[in-house]
Structures are given as structure tokens and as C-alpha cells.
Homo-oligomer: A and B are copies of this chain.
Amino acid sequence: MSLRELTNTEAMAEALKEEMSLDPSVFIVGEDLVAHGGIFGQFRGLPEAFPGRVIDTPISETCIAGAGLGAALTGMRPFVDLHFADFVTTAMDEIANQAAKIRYMFGGQVKVPMVIWAPDGAGLSAAAHHSQSLEAWFVHTPGLKVVSPCLPYDVKGLIKTAIRDDDPVVFFMHKKIFGHRGPVPEEEYLIPLGQADLKREGSDLAIITYSIMLLHAMEAAQELASEGVNAEVLDLRSLWPLDWEAIAKSVSKTHRVVVAHEACITGGMGAEIAARIQEELLDELDAPVVRVGARRVPHPFSPPLERFVIPGPHSVLEAARKVLEKQF
């Protein structure tokens, strides 16, 4: 495989371009897509390449998400851009009560092939209405699939799979990773939903993570390595379906686990993972699973406050030290 380096923005645009070329039922709908190719340039080139298939909307997230659903029910494969993850609040009925439940409520009569995509995450002083990571709400909602990759390779492969998937996929990308570069093969490839990827092998402890925290976890792992600790980093990529086998493997190998995400710790994805690890693998644990995430406050604006609230490499490091300390 020949490799190039692409940014996440480029990887995403390329994935969409390929899928739109292959399948005329794929279209993109959302606010402010055409003029600037999306707020991160994630659709650059597509409005020109696919006239009429990248559709600007009024500011109406409720109806945008629901229109995606209506189109999915009638033969199309919409890719819905929700602008900012924080605005899912305005479309929760369409996502959680309608899209998630329609196939089931109607006894499997119909498929719902749609992607609901949104940039999430903090770190840009964007304050309380433009910084949240809300994936836990959707993992708690039966009927949805939830994806949140970090590296361009994974972004491209998962965007393509999410588009081809016949169920509603909620797809989050952290707004600070759009410029992040990484190798992406020229050849076509797909990444299945529900498959984690071991980004770093290790034996002393497992850091289970996803989205931007992968970068922080890798940094922490490197620091740990310099101290002689061999951490393994498991990138979940998909949160539902959840690759429980990969998690169990890491836990059984390292016996010490950190779960790290940027969302609020309380009630976050880390709670589900930690709860399940102790439920199924308690005997494997040499120390409690430690969770890393944001403190339980909204995102403050001022840089020193925001830095204090959201986790970084130091938070993963701290958690790792705590997990390593304990001797049974």
C-alpha cells in the first residue's frame, strides 16, 4: 500500500468524495456547507464536484436531522452535518426518538441509512455552547451506532463505512483534530464499525480511549515509556457497537486500566467501560479502573479555567500512576 499524509479534513473530504462518486443516493445536508466547504473545510471541493448534492439549509437543526431521516426512509443515504455537537440538543427528538427507534418500532420494515455528523470537543475557548462531548447520551440510546475516531486513516475508513451502514450512525470528530496529519493509503479501504485498534502495544497497563484523548494517551504513554513503564493504548474508534473483545484482551493482558475521554466523567462512556470491566473481569484487575475525563462543570471560556476542566496528557499520566501504584 502506498501511503500519503493527509489531514483529517482531507481524509474526510476524500471519503465523502469516493462515496458520493460510487453511490448517487449519498448527499450532504446542513448549514453553511457550500460557500466555505463546511466550517472546517471538511467538504471542500464537493459542492463543485457534486452539484445539488451538498445542500445548504436554514438554521433548523431539528428539521435538518429529521429530514435526513425522512430521506433515509425513502431511498437516500443522507450525511447530515449538525454544525456543532452542542446543537444535537435541538434535534434530540429526531435522533433519539425517531431515527434510533423507527426501524425497531416498525418491526424491522425499513432501514435507516444515515450519518449524523458533528464536530465536538473543547480547547478553543469556545465556551459552554460550543465545546461539549455528548457521545454518552447516544450510547445510552438503543438503535444508534456511535463513532468517534481520531486519526486520518480511521476517519476516512469509518466515514466510508458509516455512509454504507444501514443504521443511523452518530459520528463525532473533535474540533481540534481537523488539522492533524497521518498516513492514508491511496487504495480504497473500509474500517468496520465496532472494531477497536491497538495503537500501541504494552504490558504494564492499558489506556482505553478514543477521539482526541488518543493523542493525549499516546503522549502519556511515551512519557511512561521513558520511565520504563510499557503502556498499551487501545483506540476504540467506535463506541457502539463496542469492541468488547479487544477491551477484554487488553485488560487480561495488563491487569491495570485507565479509561480516558474528554467528556464529563460522571455518567460518561468511561463509566460504562469501567462498570463492565469489573462486572466481567474483576479477577483480572490488579487495581481499580481509573477514569479520566472532564470535571463536572460546563466548559468555561477563559483559557486557564478551560485547561483546568478538560483532561490532557497530564491527566492520563496521573491516572496511569495511580493505577500502577496499587499492589494487590
Q: Tell me the chain A residues, 21-63 only, with Cβ under 8 Å from chain B.
A: none
A139 within 8 A of B: yes
Count identical subunits in the complex. 2
Do B143 and A140 touch (CB < 8 A)? no
Q: Is the CB of B288 within 8 A of A282?
A: yes
| B89-A90 in contact (CB<8A) | no
A305 CB to closest chain B CB, in angstroms? 11
A272 close to B267 (CB less than 8 A): yes
For A93, give its contact among B90, B272, B285 (CB under 8 Å): B90
* Mask: chain A, 222-259; 1 = CB below 8 Å from B; 0 = not: 00000000000000000010000000000000000000
With A278-B289, A282-B285, A282-B288: A266-B105 Cβ-Cβ less than 8 Å = no
Q: Complex: how many Å from CA A296 to CA B97?
A: 14
Q: How far is the CB of A175 from chain B (nearest CB, A)?
A: 17
Chain A interface size band reads: 35 or more
Contact yes or no, A142 B297, CB < 8 A? yes
Q: Provided the pairs A267-B272, A275-B289, A288-B279 are in contact, do residues A297 and B104 lie with their beta carbons within 8 angstroms? A: yes
State the CA gap A105–B105 with chains docked (Å): 39
* Interface residue ranges, A against B (CB under 8 Å): 86-90, 92-93, 96-97, 100-101, 104-105, 127-129, 136-137, 139-143, 240, 263-264, 266-280, 282, 285, 287-291, 296-298, 300
